[in-house]
Structure 1
Amino acid sequence: MNNHPLLPNHFAGRWQTATDEGTTLFDPVLGTPLVRVGRAGLDLAEGFTYAREQGGAALRALNYKQRAALLTDVVKVLQANRDAYYEIATANCGTVTRDSAVDIDGAIFTLGYYAKQGDALGEAHCLLDGERIRMAKDPVFQTQHVMNPTRGVALFINAFNFPSWGLWEKAAPALLSGVPVIVKPATATAWLTQRMVKDVVDAGVLPAGALSIVCGSSAGLMDQLKPFDVVSFTGSAETARIIRSHPAIAERSVRCNIEADSLNSALLDPTATDGDEAFHLLVSEVVREMTVKSGQKCTAIRRIFVPRALYEPAAKAIAAKLSKCTVGNPRNEGVRMGALVSREQFDGVTSGIAHLKTEAEVLYDGQPTPLVDADANVAACVSPVLLGSRDPESAKVLHAVEVFGPVATLMAYDNEEQAYALVRRGEGSLVCSLYSSDPAFCARATLALADSHGRVHAISPDVAAVQSGHGNVMPMSLHGGPGRAGGGEELGGLRALNFYHRRSAVQASTAALDILAQSASPFQP
């Protein structure tokens, strides 16, 4: 008999426990079993129908201001239970406190941001997109583009690295738009997502059917999607290909947003020296990105481009900082970096490092350093590894394989145009950060690289104290990227509402459009 609790799913407006034993979740540091998750026995059709018909109707009956108030209520519930979330994150995700904060507090901040944005939309039930346009010389007949909440459900198939933020950064604009949410968290770290949903549902702050959770297997979920539903996926490019080819997308035209692999870059100004502040800003940011959440961020820096003359100075400076990073049990106050989420991820990262080594030299390897309060044979801990390539133009693997852990590769370049070409070898990324004291270089590099990145993050000495960080996704800025990164878009302020609304051109008399405008709010993302 399994004594670890089987967490229930909230589906079809009620809590339902799987009819089988489910899957056991483990502490990635201690290797001890924690809880179980599963969804055997759920009637998927019933749950999706309930969310559409009950949750959707209740949300659409409210205006934007009222739905924004719901988000504020959700924030209050999460804040009241914040300590419990940190405990779960430590046990199930293996993260130190500051890394748990990125996930938990980042989610609460995002919800609060959208609550304020939604409140400003007022008591409208739809959005006006742009100005009216005359259809003829006589202005009596015009066209007005309007945006209405889609009459479907939003299915979120989420990744393991952000069980809190991954839910709420998507749910905030969905609920604000009036679209009910069904979240399927990654199994390995589903406990935190499930607990947050449970607290919100039990508090009764959302209409019935507005928020549902299905833990365990994702089998059959895509089959339930209908033309006015939407699906958002975060995860591997391999799974993304399966989702894109599903009949829901290929035949029923379900709207789909995907965030997949990303070989994000950091680029140092070609005129920089190792004494420049820009050089030291790059070094600090690289080390932070390699170690926060053990490098398990879709936005983490994977490739570092520096002028050839600074290859060795950069390698030494980054290695010196990495050598101070203590790795092990996050419960120990002396530990700076915790574990990967599972031994499966441990195996994937270690094999990935070996793959990268076929084209790169090792500049720093923290693996021989003993773990703090953790058994290396049990814990899913990987110490930071900095690799290097003096000839990145001839490399293939380094520009194609993302190792999802505390791993990055330093690369030398000879001139500015070559640097841009090397950065673009990532074939589409979520973010590229620039490091320079020259605003002209930042502007020039931005124009050269923005088309292949969802975000360009320019760090100069004058913004060093206030910049938000290469890897931090802020709700007012776009998150997503072209090509390899999935081709999707999330957040970006009110732009996020686009995904959950349907745009329609209303061609009508001025009098009719005047009446329509009384129920609408201008859409100004």
Structure 2
Amino acid sequence: MSELLSNFIGGRWVAGSGAGTPLFDPVLGTELVRVDATGLDLASAFGFAREQGGAALRALSYRERAGLLAAIGKVLQANRDEYYAIATANSGTVKNDSAVDIDGGIYTLSTYAKLGESLGERRFMPDGEPARLGKEPLFQSQHVLTPTRGVALFINAFNFPSWGLWEKAAPALLSGVPVIVKPATATAWLTQRMVKDVVDAGVLPAGALSVVCGSSAGLLDQLQPFDVISFTGSAETAALIRSHRAVVQGSTRVNIEADSLNSALLLPGEAAGSEAFELLAKEVAREMTVKSGQKCTAIRRVFVPEALYGAAAEAISARLAKTTVGNPRNEAVRMGSLVNRAQLNSVREGLALLKQQATVLHDGAGHALVDADPAVACCVGPTLLGVGTAAQSDAADRVHDTEVFGPVATLVPYRDAAHALALVRRGQGSLVASLYGSDPKALAAAALELADSHGRVHVISPDVAAQHTGHGNVMPQSLHGGPGRAGGGEELGGLRALNFYHRRSALQASTEVLAAL
């Protein structure tokens, strides 16, 4: 029987009392480790984090907490090779895809370490300038942001066990708020190992960072009014969180990142083979295959002028055909596996649903697996679907409503710019849309038109072909989240991320008192 990973709560390592849930290699099918959270004293764990971890963190300045983030980054950097090995075994990712998760998490930590340095020795953040409350400036109102005296509970998704932790934990710890992370069971190993390395290094005060691996049962019941919860996952689970007593009655602050039908849009006026056209084809193929399409920000719908539908289908399919799929340990493989058998079945079911309203332009089933047994490996080739005509684009509601969380995208033709924008909005709120074209004014206008329904609009023109950061790459300097179907949440965005972990108050006092702050 494989090793049972321990949970770190209350300042100590505690094993669950159950047999544990096994984690598997999605390519080889072998059991790796087991996780279990049965029988944990969650009330004590949350209390310890609030009282011990929170007090210790709040006693530090932003600059001192930034130093903790920098120290965490050094610990993780020293153990990168082990993390890559775990990612290959547990997530089935090739090296470049593992880097998106592992190095992306370390980069986010370093970014917030630098941002924290800029906040200096303060322990609160002023919010705006003082406002007079009378004719004379003797008695004024100053808004301030102070760290919430609670714990930050993170319930994370399976696709980013590293970045998913650190992109949330970095602003939380910098704010002075202790963290309890519940990673997705399927890929909890990497999260647990990273937490273990940080704990073993003695970087953080006791109670500042905890990890619970296994079932999430009972976690929400521990939440109190000044705690916060950040969730990444399905809309169904998000609805359960929003309806929980702690949120409904206790007003526990909640941030949600849920489903997203992200788009790529080629603006009118481009010709087949133009630079903007080729940039779209390249980015769509890349986004479909990075992490086997298992990214919340991956391109799911591709909009092109109706006259370019055939050329776009051909250009994207030609790129996808070069993608080798199989065992990530083989250097010839460019796309690894889905995370497990359940995810493979989900992708197959989603494909079958979309195929009722779309045709196959590039069939993933035509990709022979490299160094992997099709009967065992959770691998699937990239599949491009299409709806054929602009009229069908309106009728194909499943294309705009169904997210297949794998290497699948649908090509959708449009009549004109207004039709294109209307079709993009059929996603009912997304994390990101990317625009491709060569007319700066048209790109700017389209970006503003889509800004209200997207957390991020990524504009790619020929002049930034070599510099843009990628449709699906979440940079800590920019906001991550989205309205509507995407969950209505906001993360990152530089120092904006700290707002979630602070409480805003108005201090009304004399000018002399406010100056003493």
TM-score under structure 1 normalisation?
Answer: 0.98
- Out of 354, 371, 374, the residue aligned to residue 373 of structure 1 is 371
> Residues 217-266 of structure 1: CA distance to partner in whole angstroms, max 9, x if unpaired?
00110000000000000000010111110111111000000000000000
Q: Tell me which residue corresponds to 2:54.
A: 56
Report deviation, 1:447.
1.4
Distance 1:500 1:386 in 2: 41
> Residues 171-219 of structure 1: CA distance to partner in whole angstroms, max 9, x if unpaired?
0000000000000000000000000000001100000000000000001
Report deviation, 1:276.
1.0
Q: Tell me which residue corresponds to 2:397.
A: 396
> Residues 344-377 of structure 1: CA distance to partner in whole angstroms, max 9, x if unpaired?
0000000100001111011000213220010111
2:18 match: secondary structure: coil
Distance 2:510 2:332 in 1: 69
Deviates more, 1:37-46 or 1:362-371: 362-371
Distance 2:271 2:237 in 1: 43
CA RMSD of aligned residues (A): 0.5
- Out of 181, 184, 200, the residue aligned to residue 183 of structure 1 is 181
The letter of the residue matching 2:422 is A
Q: Tell me which residue corresponds to 2:224.
A: 226
Report deviation, 1:396.
1.0
2:130 match: secondary structure: strand
Report deviation, 1:268.
0.2
2:365 match: secondary structure: coil
Gapped regions of structure 1 (runs ≥ 5): 517-525
Gapped regions of structure 2 (runs ≥ 5): none
Q: Tell me which residue corresponds to 2:467.
A: 466
Q: Tell me which residue corresponds to 1:501.
A: 502
Distance 1:301 1:471 in 2: 8
- Out of 28, 32, 46, the residue aligned to residue 44 of structure 2 is 46
Q: Tell me which residue corresponds to 2:92.
A: 94
1:226 match: secondary structure: coil
Distance 2:166 2:232 in 1: 13
Report deviation, 1:93.
0.2
Report deviation, 1:19.
1.0
Question: Number of paired residues?
Answer: 514
Distance 1:393 1:366 in 2: 26
Distance 1:459 1:507 in 2: 47
Asked whether 1:246 is paired with 2:244, we answer yes
Distance 2:179 2:435 in 1: 37
Asked whether 1:323 is paired with 2:330, we answer no
Distance 1:30 1:441 in 2: 49
Q: Tell me which residue corresponds to 1:5.
A: 3
Matches within 5 A, 1:389-428: 389=387, 390=389, 391-428=392-429
Distance 2:5 2:435 in 1: 44
1:412 match: secondary structure: strand
Q: Tell me which residue corresponds to 2:195.
A: 197
Distance 2:226 2:297 in 1: 30
Distance 1:257 1:19 in 2: 31
Distance 1:171 1:103 in 2: 14
Asked whether 1:293 is paired with 2:294, we answer no
Distance 1:53 1:366 in 2: 53
Q: Tell me which residue corresponds to 1:447.
A: 448
- Displaced runs of 4+ in structure 1, greater than 4 A? none
Distance 2:413 2:347 in 1: 24
1:130 match: secondary structure: coil
- Out of 328, 336, 341, the residue aligned to residue 338 of structure 1 is 336
Distance 1:366 1:359 in 2: 18
TM-score under structure 2 normalisation?
Answer: 0.99
> Residues 449-507 of structure 1: CA distance to partner in whole angstroms, max 9, x if unpaired?
00000000000000010000000000000000000000000000000000000000111
Identical aligned pairs, as a percentage?
A: 71
Q: Tell me which residue corresponds to 1:30.
A: 28
Distance 2:44 2:281 in 1: 53
Q: Tell me which residue corresponds to 1:523.
A: none
Report deviation, 1:269.
1.1
Distance 2:434 2:273 in 1: 19
